[in-house]
Structures are given as structure tokens and as C-alpha cells.
Amino acid sequence: MWLSLFWAFLLIGMVSFGGGYAMLPLFERTVVTEQGWMTMATFVDMIAISQVTPGPIAINSATFIGYQVGGLAGAALATTGVVLIPVVLVILVSRTYENFKNSKIVRHMFLGLRPALVGLILASVYSVARNAIFDVWGVGILLVLWVLLVRFRLHPMLIILMSGLLGMLVYR
């Protein structure tokens, strides 16, 4: 079980570009659909917990999932797996980036990657929203807090705290 946990997260880390939010669809497919290590409801809760705890969401998520599946050893293996290849790649790329940063091909490649990353993030948003918003109250909380975040630029931590308080009031 530990080997499959490490391998699953190593593969996710190897093919994920664009940061933690871009990894979420792969986490979902691997953890919920393919391996059945957790339910979709638990997965959505895990995303919420990973979001409100300090640190990158990909590492927090891998650690949480690994712990749920295999205890402390599972947490260490999943976290190591998800970061191992990206760390090696960042070291290699950073050593050569200076030589190619002005290349037209490299600039065009990055221009092509940006829309794909937005698409991955939107797919993750859709998947989580389908399973996290159950009623009109949830939609209301989403819209009010989105306006406070985007229009009034409230700090995301304040938005998270407010959403928890609103949830306690609305769903008690």
C-alpha cells in the first residue's frame, strides 16, 4: 500500500504543471476515482483543510491524503512523492533558464501554457463546487464572499473565517 501511495503521488508530481490548484483534478481522479482511498465528500473537506492551513495546497493535500491512507509513513511518502520530481526539475530548469529566457520559442511555450493552467484550475473549481454547494444558502455564501474578496479585496484568511462562521449560522 505504501509503495502504491508513493508511486501515485510521484506520478502526480511528475505530470502536474501550474502549481497546487492545477494538481487538484489529478488528486481527485487518483484518490477518489481510481484508488478509492477517500470519498468525494472527504476529498472536498481535505481541500478546505489544505486551504486554511499554512503552506502550499499541493503539499498540504498530499500530506493529508497520505496520512488518511497510511498514517505518518503514508503522509511522508505522499509528500515526498509529490515534491520529488518538481524539486529536481526546478533545480535543472533554474540552471538553464537564464540562457533561454529571451528565446522566442520559450516565450511562446509559456504563452501556450497559461490558458491550459487556467483550464485545469477551472476544472478543479467545477468539480469541487459540484460537491460542496448543496443548496441556495451555499450559493449565497459563495456569492457574498466572492464579492467581498474580488470587489473589496478582503484578505483570503478573513474570507475563510467568515465562510466558517456563516456556515455555523446557516447550517446549525
State how far the alpha carbon of 52 is from the alpha carbons of 10, 16, 41, 155, in Å.
24, 22, 17, 12
Q: What is the pLDDT of residue 39?
A: 94
Give me the tens of pLDDT residue by residue for the chain, a chain 172 residues long.
889 999 999 999 988 776 777 788 889 999 999 999 999 989 989 988 888 888 888 999 999 999 999 999 999 999 999 999 999 988 988 888 778 878 899 889 889 988 988 888 888 788 778 877 778 998 899 899 999 999 999 998 899 889 889 989 998 8
Residue 77: CA count within 13 A, CB half-sphere? 17
Residue 171: CA count within 13 A, CB half-sphere? 14
DSSP symbol at 154:
-
pTM of the model: 0.66
State the Cα–Cα distance between residues 57 and 156, nearest whole angstrom: 14
Tell me which amino acid residue 91 is.
Answer: I
Q: What is the pLDDT of residue 8?
A: 96
Q: What is the pLDDT of residue 109?
A: 87
Q: What is the pLDDT of residue 18?
A: 67
Q: What is the pLDDT of residue 51?
A: 83
